[in-house]
Chain A
Amino acid sequence: MGRLSVDLCGIPLDNPVIPASGTFGYGYEFAELYDINCLGTFSFKGTTKEPRFGNPTPRIAECTGGMINAVGLQNPGVDKVIEEELPKLKTCFHKPVMANVSGFSVEEYAYTCARLDKEPQVGWLEVNISCPNVHGGGMSFGTDPKAAAAVVKAVKAVTKKPVLIKLTPNVTDITEIAKACEEAGADGISLINTLLGMRIDLKTKRPVIANVMGGFSGPAVFPVALRMVYQAAHAVDIPVVGMGGVSSPEDVLEMMLAGACAVEIGAANLVNPYICRDIIRDLPAVMDRYHIKDLKHINIESTGE
């Protein structure tokens, strides 16, 4: 085992670096640029039961230190993902992949997870509970501990694979949701999803995003993300995957010191598609600089000196 290796819910990772869902497609745009087998794993594009186009365009806005997206879970649907995307991925990625799943009802989550449970390429299910619950007045599953727990239970009932619940930061108390997921049987949590934001075009005096609001991500959110990862990691005993604005090896180490056992990288892939490869390459030197021997026990042993 190398000094970068970590464990995520019982599955070893060569390193903790994981491109985040929605910024890495199903992998092959990046496989054309570098050998993506250097990654710990990656979380593929959020997949739903039915195919989705997503929201109307414009869906993207520039911000200081980041961007807003309101793509709206465009994906070909779980059937096509299994029939077309996973076989294509097999040719260029030989590690277990993280399957990111979204839904608009508890039944939809369970259906999609049950389908992906049968796929040997899938290592983990990462369940995005930031979507609106169509049977719950449109309120996000991730902002209501009871709704979040209902999704966890339904998904756990249909899969033997480790289930990570991806949390939205748009809540008053992240520890309450994290604990609810843990109690309902989640194997881990990942956070943060994007922060709700908006921009207005001064020329048209209208919102830049057709959907008015969207998810803000990028380096500007890193301190908020780090704080929430720290709070969540201290509230639960299950593994925590940290993400939000991570753009450098130093950010990865900060996330891990805050309590994350692995780190996802999102928006940064869009402006520098080589960033995950480069962070993995540069991590050992940065670890040396801070006298961190390995990443498995970073928050308890390596920093105790």
Chain B
Amino acid sequence: MKQGLFEIIENKALNDAVYRMRLQGDVSAITAPGQFVNIKLAGKYLRRPISVCDKTGDVLTLIYKVVGQGTGQMARMTESERLDLFTGLGNGYDLTTAGDAPLLIGGGVGVPPLYWLAKELIAAGKQVSVILGFNTKDEIFYETAFRDLGAAVTVTTVDGSCGVKGFVTDAFPAQYSYVYTCGPEPMLKAVYKQTKTGGQFSFEERMGCGFGACMGCSCKTLTGYKRICKDGPVLTKEEILWED
């Protein structure tokens, strides 16, 4: 973990609720796709954890959805403003288990961390397939960005307004070597049930500190209690314990 000041070099709406923020600063602590940063916002006590969408040179890309006061405040920030970030938080995805044809599945704002992951896997010569799940056409973002990387992209929408009608599980290919996924918990659970190979699942929880000190975001797993912020957010399929 590293604390640093980052300068906003872009903060742009991708659709009605989803924004992309590009920040310049010391990104050296960020070592794996699937990690997150924790952002200090003026007037807010706790930091806001946001997953890393991409890292290029000294530029960090975050994609976030406005869901409350904190993210609302982020959306109103402008270029050249500075943010205090903790970087390099969380374990991130392990790329070594991907096999030849990994399947990446993102739901809503679970999509962003898969972008850098896809980039790394393609750079490593993998045949990457991506399923991006949204509720409706207007919510879709980054479909083209994934295609531009060279991934085979399938979009699903719950209302059928674009791509395959239904959920991400309605678009599973016949063959894949491994699954990497991030999204809301009901989606993760559905993906878990349908996954025939090994996989890595990225979870969300309300956090206190983001670096393992407060035990605020703990979950039970088959290999013991884990802190989503420090031992996660990525859990392997073998260790996940669904409680309900």
Contact = CB atoms under 8 A, between A and B. Distances in A.
Interface of A: 22-25, 29-30, 32-33, 45, 53-54, 57-67, 69, 71, 74, 208, 218-219, 267, 269-271, 273-274
A165 B213 CA distance: 23
Interface string B208-219: 110111111111
A281 B221 CA distance: 41
B213 A67 contact: no
A298 B73 CA distance: 42
A62 B44 contact: yes
B96 to A, nearest CB: 24
B152 interface: no
Report, nearest first, the 6 A-B pairs whose CB atoms are least far apart: A270-B209, A60-B216, A58-B206, A74-B215, A60-B208, A60-B206
B46 A271 contact: yes
Q: Most chain-A CB neighbours within 10 Å: which of B206, B212, B219, B230? A: B206
Contacts of A53: 218, 220, 225
Contact of B213 (A30, A65, A66, A218): A30
Contact of B206 (A59, A269, A270, A274): A59
Nearest to A74: B215
Nearest to A32: B1
B242 interface: no
A48 B217 CA distance: 20
Nearest to A73: B215
B44 A269 contact: no
Given A25-B213, A60-B207, 20 more contacts: A22-B215, A23-B214, A25-B212, A29-B211, A29-B212, A29-B230, A54-B218, A57-B205, A57-B206, A57-B216, A59-B208, A59-B216, A60-B206, A62-B45, A69-B214, A71-B215, A219-B45, A269-B209, A271-B209, A273-B211
Nearest to B220: A53
Contacts of B216: 57, 59-60, 69, 71
B218 A57 contact: yes
Q: Most chain-A CB neighbours within 10 Å: which of B3, B46, B215? A: B215
Interface of B: 1, 3, 40, 44-47, 70, 205-209, 211-220, 225, 230
Contact of A22 (B3, B47, B212, B214): B214
A249 to B, nearest CB: 20
A57 B217 contact: yes
Contacts of A267: 45
Contacts, number: 86
| Interface of B (DSSP majority class) | loop
Contacts of A66: 45
Nearest to A59: B216
B213 A29 contact: yes
A239 to B, nearest CB: 27
A169 B85 CA distance: 34
Contacts of B1: 32-33
Contacts of B211: 29, 273
Contacts of A208: 206
B208 A273 contact: no
A60 B45 contact: no
Contacts of B213: 23-25, 29-30, 269-270, 273
A78 to B, nearest CB: 16
B164 to A, nearest CB: 29
A71 B212 CA distance: 13
B205 A58 contact: yes
A208 B206 CA distance: 10
B135 to A, nearest CB: 16
A66 B70 CA distance: 14
A45 B40 contact: no
A270 B218 contact: no
Nearest to A52: B225
A53 B44 CA distance: 28
B46 A62 contact: yes
A208 B46 CA distance: 15
B230 A67 contact: no
A91 to B, nearest CB: 17
Contacts of B208: 59-60, 67, 69, 270
